[in-house]
Structure 1
Amino acid sequence: MTTGEASRRRFMGTGAALAAGIASTTGRPVRGAEPAESSSSSASKHLRLALVGAGGRGTGAINDSLTINDNISLVAVADLEGDKIGKICESLSKRHGDKVAVDSSKMHGGIDAYKRVLDDPEVDIVLFATPPGFRPRTVLDAVDAGKHVFAEKPTCVDPAGYRLCVTADEKAKANGTSIVTGTQYRRQENYVEAIKRIHDGAIGDIISATARYCSNGIWNKTRKEGMSDTEYQIYNWMHFIWLSGDQIAEQAVHNIDAINWIMGGPPESAYGSGGRFTRPEGSEMWDSMSIDYIYPGNRLVSFMCRQIPNSQSDNSNVIYGSKGICTIYGINRGAMIHDRDGNEVWSMEGDLGAAYKQEHKDLVDSVRAGKPIVEFKETADSSLTAVLGRLAAYTGKQVSWDFVANESKLDLFPENLDMQASLPEPSYAIPGKTKLI
């Protein structure tokens, strides 16, 4: 299909091809493959949403859901900084009117605020956009409370968190509750179509791939006077590994997730390196990593992520096959397939904004149709693949999937989280000194 033909034949957001692409990654029925029966009372049921984590990504997520879904309302918000919730709700209300109906009694502040959301019988769906280190425990609590969930990526930052995610996934399937995750590329039309074509043999046998998420830096927040260690680290969470998982997990997991989707699952091992050149004092992050992942069938994926100011950016996945090459770019750049002679045989534009909204439509539709989407395990696998690469780079050792998934004892979350507590002095990994746990 040419670019023009692709433009004329763009998938509908809930079209069968898009749904089939998602279903093939989750192994479960996905809302969108067929419409819910309009005569069913559940098809038009009013659903009440709550947001946990009202930062930029959280407000973006709830805005997407309120924009694309009808007959829903935001009824509760929880955030560490409870005093900012009122202004956020006021801003959302200006955009979405009576879809925002958060009474002051349902504006919850503090480290345990999410628990009050989970105890609220009026809440049907909870959107989690807190720092990633909290994700496994809070989502598992939500599943235990019988809530449907939207969980931002990554879903874990260490092996202990991964195992909690697996448990949450199993319980959600048993409960009949949905968990949709913020891996929006799995709902972006050009990704779905490109990967379907790869799986259908358009480039022949997959031989190898490269994946890149190279950008120009990341935010950093200065410590405010009087902040405890815990308060500051959560405030500046990107720079602490127990909260963000480093760039490879927090940001570059999107590319890793796409590669796992293409390859049919996680890799067998990782070996890598990297370092830090431009991070601020006190940050635990590296600013570059290069990982060789080996996937089943002895297929090599060369992966790189970088956040260095004034360096050249690249967000792409290039898959090399025996008959051709598929390139899938991030954001809105689209995807294309070339044969081995370099001739373009197919291309399609990208629309990231539509994908951000589609994940929320799929969640709401699945709840109303009584056909829950549970994709937590898939995103946890991709998150742990990022952790696998990080551990290989941090320690300078080749690390196997079996080790991180089943043997590793690494648990980065503080044993007794206290907002006024001191935490160990921040430190960054040094290969050869940092131990593989």
Structure 2
Amino acid sequence: MFPSEPDMNDKLNRTTSDHPTTTRREVLRRGASASAALAATVGASRMVHTQAASADPDRKIKIGIVGAGGRGTGAVNDSFSINDNIELVTIADLDPGNAERLRTGMTRRHGDKINVADDRIHSGLDAYKAVLEDPEVEVVFLTTSPAFRPSHIAEAVKAGKHVFAEKPSCVDPAGYRICVAAHEEAKKNGTAIVTGTQYRRQSNYMEAVKRIHDGEIGDIIGMTSRYCSQGIWYKNRAEGVSDTQYQLNNWMHFIWLSGDQIAEQAVHNIDLMNWVMQGPPVSAYGSGGRFTRPDDSEMWDSMSIDYMYSDERPVSFMCRQIPGSTAENGSTVRGTKGFAIIGAGSSGSTFLDRSGKETLKLEGSIADAYRQEHKDLIDSIRSGEAIVELLETAKSSLTAVMGRMAAYTGKKVTWDFVANESELDLFPKDLQWDGSRPEPSYAIPGKTKLI
């Protein structure tokens, strides 16, 4: 994600750094006309990338990327490892160094699939607009820090681009509503949106969930899910950088940018929960705290959430990032006839009967799943049958946000409230590259308000 290097002193000479980025608040206020000015600049080419233009299955598809850090580099590598006749033509990132590293590294791996001229590397808060305005770009990868995801998706759909968008789709209810509108517009336009929920394309996950839905373990009684690890990266502040620059560089530790661990990382398991339960939960009630985070980090380092799904089916969820603690990552689905244990990564899935006897073992590769999501995207574009899956990922992202809100406030939070009533919008009103930011703070239950 962007940026990935702690030294940001060389970023003050930006072609676009003097201008604030488009805010999600503007997108919400303007609704369907949120990106009218942008749409006008690409109006002549917008329809090039709809279903009607997808008749030639062998044409070269040109790709641009916004966010050239680790996840962006991984997305390019995954897509270019499995797809033929595609070409990366433009890169945008806060840091031009990230873009240069991506171009150099991917050229070594994928040769003539990388064709990014110097003048098609863009930097700054508004650099993404250059990618969306590029008439050659048919597909855009959106792999920045999560705060920017909703508005970037909405503007990409307006610009007629097909989209690969990393998870989470949003970090607050305001972003969720932007995603819902973008999903509907993408369906209407025939604009593909594939998201970074790779487990939905991992063979053991797909087969396990199908068998659960087909009744192999009987009626679902409940579920337990854990995403517990031993820590996360942190970047010290370099001298001479603004608050904005520092927070963008150290984005995981600021809630407006990452949504905390439950949204940024653990959303994979929460997405599985919604997938198994065939919809988002009715309510969430939880707790947690912070014990080991750096002083200026806004993150908690543990949360435990009790989600209640329809038909009174409880799901116990926990996430944790504490050095020296025992790591555990996976989910157990409990049914009237047996159990399904679905492990994280490539650890596979196991079915047990009520006595604990193993009845089925399923294997799957997460590396294959990462690549498959990109193959499905390109195949759907070439077939003219665009995949649009933003809504599912947005609901899972909001489920994570719902749990965070419950833990942060100490209140029981309902889906109806977060989806339809909450006014929480974490994105800064006027984000400036050289600007100041409020003093970092962390949530305290009983004091933090439910908004």
Fold shared by both chains (TM-score > 0.5): yes
How many residues end up aligned between the 2 structures?
A: 398
Residues 1:200 and 2:214 are matched in the alignment = yes
Match of 1:256 among 260, 270, 274: 270
- Kindly tell me: are residues 84 and 255 of structure 1, through their superposed partners in 2, closer, same or farther at Cα, counting changes over 3 Å? closer
> Which letter maps to 1:199?
H
SS at match of 2:311: coil
**Structure 1 residues 369-405: Cα deviation after superposition (integer angstroms, max 9, x where no partner):** 0000000010000000000000000000000000000
Match of 1:348 among 343, 346, 362: 362
SS at match of 2:361: strand
Whether the aligned pair in 2 keeps the contact of 1:276 and 1:286 (CA below 8 Å) is yes
Whether the aligned pair in 2 keeps the contact of 1:83 and 1:109 (CA below 8 Å) is no
Write the distance in 2 (CA, Å) between the matches of 1:297 and 1:53: 41
Write the distance in 1 (CA, Å) between the matches of 2:100 and 2:267: 32
Counterpart in the other structure of 2:421: 407
Counterpart in the other structure of 2:310: 296
Write the distance in 2 (CA, Å) between the matches of 1:284 and 1:255: 22
The structural deviation recorded for 1:341 is 1.1
Counterpart in the other structure of 1:331: 345
Counterpart in the other structure of 2:45: none
SS at match of 2:345: coil
Match of 1:73 among 71, 87, 90: 87
Whether the aligned pair in 1 keeps the contact of 2:176 and 2:419 (CA below 8 Å) is yes
4+ aligned runs moved over 4 Å, structure 1: none
Write the distance in 2 (CA, Å) between the matches of 1:114 and 1:412: 20
**Structure 1 residues 69-106: Cα deviation after superposition (integer angstroms, max 9, x where no partner):** 00001000000002342232111101100000001111
Whether the aligned pair in 2 keeps the contact of 1:326 and 1:337 (CA below 8 Å) is yes
SS at match of 1:75: strand
Counterpart in the other structure of 1:172: 186
The percentage of counterpart residues that share the same residue type is: 64
Counterpart in the other structure of 1:357: 371
Give the CA RMSD over aligned residues.
0.8
Write the distance in 2 (CA, Å) between the matches of 1:202 and 1:244: 37
**Structure 1 residues 246-280: Cα deviation after superposition (integer angstroms, max 9, x where no partner):** 00000000000001000001000000000000001
Residues 1:396 and 2:407 are matched in the alignment = no
Write the distance in 2 (CA, Å) between the matches of 1:268 and 1:166: 18
> Which letter maps to 2:382?
R
Whether the aligned pair in 1 keeps the contact of 2:263 and 2:397 (CA below 8 Å) is yes
Residues 1:380 and 2:394 are matched in the alignment = yes
Write the distance in 2 (CA, Å) between the matches of 1:86 and 1:283: 29
Whether the aligned pair in 1 keeps the contact of 2:288 and 2:407 (CA below 8 Å) is yes
Whether the aligned pair in 2 keeps the contact of 1:216 and 1:309 (CA below 8 Å) is yes
Residues 1:90 and 2:104 are matched in the alignment = yes
Unaligned residue ranges in structure 2 (runs of 5+): 1-53
Counterpart in the other structure of 1:218: 232
Write the distance in 2 (CA, Å) between the matches of 1:296 and 1:227: 48
SS at match of 1:381: helix
Residues 1:112 and 2:134 are matched in the alignment = no
SS at match of 1:266: coil
> Which letter maps to 2:119?
S
**Structure 1 residues 204-252: Cα deviation after superposition (integer angstroms, max 9, x where no partner):** 0000100000001000000111111111000000000000000000000
Match of 1:154 among 168, 172, 196: 168
Counterpart in the other structure of 2:254: 240
Write the distance in 2 (CA, Å) between the matches of 1:432 and 1:281: 21
Whether the aligned pair in 1 keeps the contact of 2:55 and 2:383 (CA below 8 Å) is no
- Kindly tell me: are residues 41 and 392 of structure 1, through their superposed partners in 2, closer, same or farther at Cα, counting changes over 3 Å? closer
> Which letter maps to 1:252?
A
Match of 1:283 among 297, 306, 319: 297
Match of 2:436 among 419, 422, 430: 422
SS at match of 1:220: coil
The structural deviation recorded for 1:41 is 5.2
SS at match of 2:77: helix
Match of 2:117 among 81, 85, 103: 103
Counterpart in the other structure of 2:48: none
Normalising by structure 2, what TM-score?
A: 0.88
> Which letter maps to 1:310?
G
1:21-60 correspondence to structure 2 within 5 Å:
42-60=56-74
Write the distance in 1 (CA, Å) between the matches of 2:105 and 2:71: 15
**Structure 1 residues 136-164: Cα deviation after superposition (integer angstroms, max 9, x where no partner):** 00010000000000000000000000000
Unaligned residue ranges in structure 1 (runs of 5+): 1-39
> Which letter maps to 1:101?
N
Write the distance in 2 (CA, Å) between the matches of 1:84 and 1:256: 30
